[in-house]
Copies of this chain bind each other. A is one copy, B any other.
Amino acid sequence: MEGSQFLAAFAVLVLALAFSLAFADDPSPLQDLCVAMDDPKNAVFVNGKFSKNPNLTVANDFSFLGLNIPGNTGNQVGSNVTLVNVDKMPGLNTLGISLARLDFAPNAGLNPPHTHPRAIEILVVVEGTLYVGFVTSTPNRLITKVFYPGDVFVFPIGLIHFQFNVGKTNAVAFAGLSSQNPGAITIANALFASNPPINPDVLVKAFQLDKNVVNYLQKLFWESN
């Protein structure tokens, strides 16, 4: 191998690393800008994301286009969440916030019961009629209401919540979330569609279901929305 070849390889490697390290963020920003970069091929990770040279950041790092386009609700639950998190908008890195568009099919489009392990959510309805609710931990009180365009609701951290289209038209909402990577745990999927499956005896006892029902549920297709 020639020196020039090596230098080229060296350059590629350094470049690859500069990019591969492009993934680090933090709950509290320690500088004005800390824009995330794409995931490296050679697994190198930190809490959050590595970042781009602040001098090279551009407006597009802080932009995401297309939330005017309705999400596809032609799925099992009849809903779609388009989340603009740090994976979609690298400038969100370290900023602790994200934004989502929620679409619901007419007549029972459902964003099924779920939690965000790292975020609080505030939601404004812009179209349609939504029955929304969350359940407190102890005791299990359901806080619920039907919402119309212009109505705002908030879901406290970690509590199970849902939104359900009780109208005959599409429903649309926007939501702010208090993390650049809020996470979402769809309860039914986490319990009945985990990989590998949870020991069915656990689910039988926990949900007071017949073992056949649990076995049946664990074999179904569970679509993530």
A positions within 8 Å CB-CB of B: 1-3, 5-6, 9-10, 13-18, 20-22, 24-34, 42-48, 50-54, 56-60, 62-69, 77-78, 84, 89, 91-99, 101, 108, 110, 112-113, 115-118, 120-122, 124, 126, 131, 133, 135-145, 147-154, 156-160, 162, 164, 174-181, 183-185, 187-199, 201-203, 205-209, 213, 217, 220, 222, 224
Contacts and interface: CB of A to CB of B under 8 A. Distances in A.
Given A32-B137, A48-B26, A176-B122, A63 B145 contact: yes
Contacts of A21: 21, 44-46
B24 A27 contact: no
Nearest to A174: B174
A117 B47 CA distance: 20
B158 A118 contact: yes
Contact of A208 (B44, B140, B220): B220
Nearest to A224: B138
State the number of copies, please.
6
B110 A206 contact: yes
Given A25-B30, A48-B31, A158 B133 contact: no
Contacts of A60: 145
Contacts of A178: 95-97, 178
Contacts of A142: 194-198
B126 A157 contact: no
Contacts of A112: 202, 205-206
Most buried by B among A32, A116, A224: A32
A138 B225 CA distance: 11
A99 B152 contact: yes
B63 A97 contact: no
